[in-house]
């Protein structure tokens, strides 16, 4: 069987890239097609055959930011040639699902999310651009054209997989396609749960505005509780201005260091809306409760009152109330039960689910 993998662009390493890496482990001989590739990921993909688009020249030679190459990405992904392949698996939240395959080729699209800046976050994305009005007009036209392409190309995959029920609903809303839920792989086997803690609350996240880390900072300021924040991002300076004396920013940390901070945390704060969210699962694998905004993927990975607590309103006040509630019932949480719950999102479970679907599709084809 001739098989290929496709990923939007391998320039950073997050949850979507972990999915592609796991797929590459499952299918070690499969080449990985991607629009752009950054050499800093060599330590993870060094033994893989990476096939890039012509946009790589501009990205690598002139260090042009990814967003400035946006107008040419749809055309670039369509120019990848998958002639002769029996099966192609795309891992995508923007362009990889729009590849063109032969009629007899099975295309499984693992969708992390319909492209947010084209659909539900379109107005927010445009408003956040610090650009003059005429420039925003151009951006709106570009995104309008990409939205048409995205909807049309959504009919190309043979089958859709979604990383959560939350994303499954959005796939149906925007693409009018059904999807099967396969939760993304989490390395729960690498995390040793721990009963005790060092007394601090933890945020482990990219420091971006939509992550709403400001809610966690303001809540811990008000309650005078210690909060450790791990991660980097464009919002760091603004967040540091909000922080009181009990807030500590640690910036980038190694994977091993992040796991140790998770194991020693009192609880994880997860104040934004996510399509799934791997960090809450990692925290639970470590035996730690999660205090999360009760929408999106958190509703699927956290059991309210058992492995964590939800706050229902997207406000600092609602999170503050939830933290106070957690403190009053903290001793009721069982670290063993929390850790056991996380195992349903393990890497092995992901591999089993993917292989079952691959075999089903091949059986249908034959």
pLDDT exceeds cutoff 90 at 95:
yes
> pLDDT tens digits for 111-164?
999 999 999 989 988 988 888 999 999 999 999 999 999 999 999 999 999 999
CA 20 to each of CA 44, 91, 112, 342: distance values in angstroms, whole numbers, following the listed order: 11, 6, 11, 21
- pLDDT above 90 for 14: no
Alpha-carbon gap, residue 40 to 232, rounded angstroms: 16
Rounded to whole angstroms, the Cα distance separating 6 from 203 reads: 31
Q: What is the CATH number of domain 188-344?
A: 3.40.50.2000
Rounded-to-integer distance, Cα 79 and Cα 75, Å: 6
Q: Output the CATH code of domain 3-185+346-365.
A: 3.40.50
How far apart CA 328 and CA 337 sit, in angstroms, is 19
Strand pairing category for 290-293 and 227-230:
unpaired
Angle at 68 between CA 162 and CA 170, to 5 degrees: 20
**C-beta of residue 36 within 8 angstroms of C-beta of residue 56:** yes
Which tens digits make up the pLDDT trace of 166-212? 999 999 999 999 999 999 999 999 999 999 999 999 999 989 888 99
Q: What is the pLDDT of residues 307-363, one digit of tens each?
A: 999 999 999 999 999 999 999 999 999 999 999 999 999 999 999 999 999 999 999
Say how far apart CA 114 and CA 11 lie, in whole Å.
19
As a whole number of angstroms, the distance between CA 124 and CA 143 comes to 13
Give the pLDDT of residue 270.
Answer: 98
The pLDDT tens digits of the residues spanning 288-298 come to: 999 999 999 99
CATH 3.40.50.2000 spans which residues of the chain? 188-344
pLDDT tens track for 237-283: 999 999 999 999 999 999 899 999 999 999 999 999 999 989 999 99
């Amino acid at each position: 069987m001739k098989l290929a993998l496709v990923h939007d662009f391998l320039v950073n390493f997050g949850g979507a890239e972990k999915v592609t890496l796991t797929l590459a482990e499952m299918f070690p001989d499969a080449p990985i097609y991607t629009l752009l590739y950054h050499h800093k990921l060599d330590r993870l993909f060094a033994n893989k055959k990476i096939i890039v688009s012509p946009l790589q020249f501009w990205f690598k030679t002139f260090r042009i930011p990814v967003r400035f190459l946006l107008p040419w990405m749809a055309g670039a992904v369509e120019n990848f040639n998958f002639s002769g392949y029996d099966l192609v698996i795309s891992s995508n939240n923007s362009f990889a699902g729009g590849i063109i395959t032969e009629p007899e080729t099975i295309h499984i699209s693992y969708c992390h999310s319909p492209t947010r800046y084209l659909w539900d976050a379109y107005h927010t994305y445009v408003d956040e651009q610090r650009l003059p009005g005429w420039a925003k007009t151009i951006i709106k036209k570009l995104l309008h054209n990409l939205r048409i392409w995205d909807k049309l190309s959504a009919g190309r995959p043979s089958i859709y997989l979604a990383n959560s029920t939350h994303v499954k609903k959005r796939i149906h809303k925007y693409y009018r396609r059904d999807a099967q839920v396969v939760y993304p792989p989490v390395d729960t086997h690498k995390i040793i749960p721990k009963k005790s803690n060092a007394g601090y609350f933890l945020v482990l996240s990219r420091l971006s505005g939509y992550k709403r880390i400001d809610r966690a900072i303001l809540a811990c300021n008000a309650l005078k509780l210690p909060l450790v924040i791990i991660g980097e991002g464009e919002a760091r300076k603004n967040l540091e201005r909000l922080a009181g004396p009990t807030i500590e920013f640690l910036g980038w940390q190694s994977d091993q260091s992040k796991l140790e901070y998770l194991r020693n945390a009192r609880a994880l704060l997860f104040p934004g809306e996510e399509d799934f969210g791997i960090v809450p699962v990692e925290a639970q694998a470590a035996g730690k409760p999660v205090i999360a905004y009760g929408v999106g993927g958190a509703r699927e990975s956290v059991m309210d009152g058992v492995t964590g607590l939800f706050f229902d309103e997207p406000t600092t006040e609602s999170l503050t109330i939830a933290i106070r509630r957690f403190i009053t019932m903290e001793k009721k949480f069982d670290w063993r039960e929390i850790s056991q719950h996380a195992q349903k999102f393990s890497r092995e479970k992901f591999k089993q689910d993917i292989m079952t679907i691959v075999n089903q599709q091949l059986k249908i084809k034959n």
